[in-house]
Structure 1
Amino acid sequence: MNTNAIGIFDSGVGGTSIWKEINALLPNENTIYLADSKNAPYGPKGKDAIINLSIKNTEYLLKQNCKLIIVACNTATTNAIDYLRANYSIPFIGIEPAIKPAALQTKTNTIGILATRGTLSSTLFSKTSTLFASNIKVIEQHGDGIVELIEGGKLFSDEMKTLLNQYLQPMIDANIDYLVLGCTHYPYLTPLLINILPNNVKIIDSGEAVARQTKTVLEKLNLINNSFKTIEHSFYINGNTEVLKSLVGTEFKVDYLDF
């Protein structure tokens, strides 16, 4: 079972930002990435629909004999991971906004969080924010339209730049010194964000922490792949294969899968 793949799913291509961190830290692990772009974004769909989509993605990855599943979607994590853990025996790694490090390190006592509506309205986000950020000012911003533009191959479009300027200006005015990215699509915005934000604002996401947690769980369960066989990375999407390929690299095969 150690040679079985790590399964990763997201409501689209954004979770590849997590896949890159996993591959960097655990280069000897096989991976299967599932992009549910047809249903992106998950945020507006409501808790029951998000759980059902997460079940569908999980069932597919289980059929591929994955040894661990990463829910590479903030909205799916906050709304569905408790259900998944209660109903499947496979280990799950979830994603949540990196509020804790931002709250602990802020010097201006003001941080910004850019996330989807589904994440910001979730119980888990509320608990985390209350636990770590109750004594600082938190500027929350729904990233409406961002996921759709990235899924549509318009990452660096004028429309995206206009949206980001609109969303970030209130944070800049409030003197944030940390911007927390609360969606796995959003790390791909970093080049644009750097051009908009003041130099003192640090951008933080969950990717490295998720990779470290994945390694910890694999080691604890003795599931690290120590084989010297060729490593395989499989990518599946029920949307535009070219968008996914542009993010993971043309050296990887990306297949369309109607799921």
Structure 2
Amino acid sequence: MSKQQAPIGVFDSGVGGISTLRTLAQALPNEDFIFYGDSANAPYGEKPSDQVCQLATQVLDQLKQHQAKAVVIACNTATSAAKQQLMAANPTLPILGIEPALKQAVDAGKQHILVMATPLTISLPKYQAQVTRFEATTQIYSLPCPGLADSIEKGHAGLAQTQALVARLMADVTAAPIDGVVLGCTHYPFIADMIRREFDHPVTVYTGYEGLAKNLTKHLTDQGLLRTHNDHRQIHFYSSRDTPAELALYQHLFEHGITE
């Protein structure tokens, strides 16, 4: 297998990154993908940053065993806590990460932006620097959401619990004049409609996925790694919770999302 034919690795602390994978697979229809969900250690967003970095390093080693030609960190927490260290340790491997799409919402002219993310993502300097950059001209509401990613990990079976948790977490912000919602955890896009319904007015939701897909396409093109055709595309799923039920959940979420 040539390097161009090698798969793209995508990983997350659990099922959330599958929402990212869906966008990447649509944007890059000729690429093979390997997805690794570290569900046995989910969620990352409520762990110390040094532990997240250690876990992300272990997952990256798994993807390298599959000869990944590029790796996408489909986890906002792992991007903030571990991306720089992973890049330094793997200088020849393109490593990209998802980040809260706060700039995208600001550039769209939104004035009252709710950012929903894990407690760790919101506490790290990378996110705080973004807030500092924009808060002079934009009202930013930072909402840590403990337990939400873990609830979403249960898929359709946990929908009632997830709905109740969303209502409780958002109780203090739904009366604010929010016009944009940034989903700063890759688990959350699976329940984007549920989050929208908490407001009595329309809001625009931002994930950052389109920008990530464009960035990945550019990296592959610049390095001569972009595949132009593929008659037998393959997308494989792996998990640190290596059970048939977990892998079936991954496949279902990729094909249908969480509410079907």
Q: What TM-score, normalized by structure 2, do the two folds share?
A: 0.90
- Provide, for residues 4-40 of structure 1, a one-character-per-residue CA deviation record: whole Å limited to 9, x for no partner: 0000010001101110111111010010000000100
Partner residue, 1:189:
191
Matched with 1:93 is: 96
Q: Is the 8 A contact 2:196 2:202 kept in 1?
A: no
The CA distance in 2 between the partners of 1:224 and 1:155, in whole Å, is 38
The amino acid that maps onto 2:93 is I
Aligned length: 249
Q: Which runs of 4+ in 1 moved over 4 A?
A: none
Q: Is the contact made by 1:151 and 1:243 (CA closer than 8 Å) also made in structure 2?
A: no
- Corresponding residue of 2:85: 83
> Could you tell me how far apart the structure 1 residues matched to 2:239 and 2:168 are?
31
Partner of 2:108: 105
1:149 counterpart residue number = 151
Structure 1: which amino acid aligns with 2:7?
Answer: A
- 2:184 is matched by which residue type in structure 1? G
Cα RMSD over matched residues?
1.6
What secondary structure sits across from 2:197 in the alignment? Answer: helix
Read off the aligned partner of 1:207 and give its amino acid letter: Y
Deviates more, 1:221-230 or 1:152-161: 152-161
Please tell me whether the aligned partners of residues 149 and 155 of structure 1 are also in contact (alpha carbons under 8 angstroms).
Answer: no
- Unaligned segments of structure 1, at least 5 residues: 251-259
Secondary structure of 2:77's aligned partner = helix
Report Cα offsets for 1:169-223 as digits up to 9, x if no partner.
Answer: 3222221110110000000011212322233311111111111111011111111
| 1:126 Cα deviation from its structure 2 partner | 1.3
| Aligned counterpart, 1:253 | none
Cα distance between partner residues in 1 of 2:104 and 2:193:
22
Partner of 2:33: 31
Change (3 A) 1:77 1:155: farther
| CA distance in structure 2 between the partners assigned to 1:83 and 1:201 by the alignment | 36
In structure 2, the gaps of 5 or more residues are none
Q: Does 1:246 align with 2:248?
A: no
Q: TM-score, normalised by structure 1?
A: 0.91
Alignment of structure 1 residues 60-75 onto 2, 5 Å: 60-75=62-77
CA distance in structure 1 between the partners assigned to 2:59 and 2:158 by the alignment: 29
Distance 2:199 2:4 in 1: 43
Measure, in 2, the Cα distance between the counterparts of 1:117 and 1:130.
18
* Percent identity over paired residues: 31
- Greater mean deviation of Cα atoms: 47-56 or 146-155: 146-155
Q: Check whether the contact 1:69–1:90 (CA below 8 A) recurs between aligned residues.
A: yes
* Cross-structure match for 2:174: 172
Q: Residue by residue, what CA displacement relative to the aligned partner does 1:87-109 show, whole Å, maximum 9, x if unpaired?
A: 102011111100012123345x2
Looking at structure 2, the residues matched to 228 and 64 of structure 1 have their Cα atoms a distance apart, in angstroms, of 18
1:10 matched residue in structure 2: 12
Is the partner of 1:226 in helix, strand or coil?
coil
